[in-house]
Amino acid sequence: MDTEREPVRIVIVDDDQLVRMALRLVLEVEPDLSIVAEAADGDAAITAVDEQRPDVVLMDVRMPGRDGLSATRELLTRPAPPRVLMLTTFDSDDLVLGSLRAGALGFVLKDTPPARIIDAVRTVAEGNPVLSPVATARVIAAATGPQSATARDSSREAARKQLSTLTERELDTARAVADGLGNPEIAERLHISVATVKAHISNLFAKLAVENRVQIALLVRDAEDPGIAG
């Protein structure tokens, strides 16, 4: 086991100094996490990333000047870009969906409990997406939107057909993802190891032909939405 792994290098981006301070206090006590820079807007974030080459950027969505969406889009055009974990208060569902389209790998609410923020940073640093339960619910609600009865029936049938390829344990994992749980929480719910959870999720990506957890959650909700069940 590698006990000499370098700490995850983090840049915190938020226009509120108190938020930056709180995040620093939460994260810097962890020996495997290191805050290498702070920035108050998108332009400063890009400069900090170019100078520090962090592994993870905690990026506020809304900031004066260049916002988090624009900054994220530019950062992800870089060679070996950092993983971006968005900070949001969910003032607008469009901002959440826009962040996904910009390439963010995860979301946390600014009032998320410290332990969950730490877990989210570590998860994103490993290249795995993470969404808070609130983020998942908002994204799903905005992405699905009102549909005609015919369209909803078609979506339900297609989703059920895709999910029918899963084993019972993979389906349990997919449902936990739809509830917005992270890997440790899924492991606890299903009484399995985190490594097994990761294996199940890898299988879900392959079997369902999806690229992220949001798409898994949408399939589960389409298949099991009581509003469209027969």
For the segment 23-41, what is each residue's pLDDT rounded down to a tens digit?
Answer: 999 999 999 999 999 999 9
Q: Check pLDDT > 80 for residue 15.
A: yes
- Report which of 140, 216, 113 is spatially closest to residue 171, judged by C-alpha positions: 216
CA angle 111, 117, 121 (to 5 degrees): 145
CA angle 22, 125, 183 (to 5 degrees): 95
Instruction: Name, in order, each residue with C-beta under 8 angstroms of 17's C-beta and a sequence gap of 6 or more.
Output: 40
- With tokens 């968005």, the residue in question is 86
Domain ranges, ordered by start, for the chain: 8-140, 147-223
How much is the pTM? 0.63
> Which CATH topology does 8-140 take?
Rossmann fold (3.40.50)
- Report which of 68, 66, 14 is spatially closest to residue 37, judged by C-alpha positions: 14
C-alpha–C-alpha distance, residues 109 and 131, integer Å:
9
Q: Is 198 helix (H, G, I), strand (E, B) or coil?
A: helix
Instruction: State the CB neighbour count (10 A cutoff) for residue 34.
Output: 15
Per residue in 50-89, pLDDT (tens digit) is 999 999 999 998 888 898 889 998 998 888 899 999 887 7
The yes/no answer on whether domain 147-223 falls in CATH 1.20.1260.10 is no
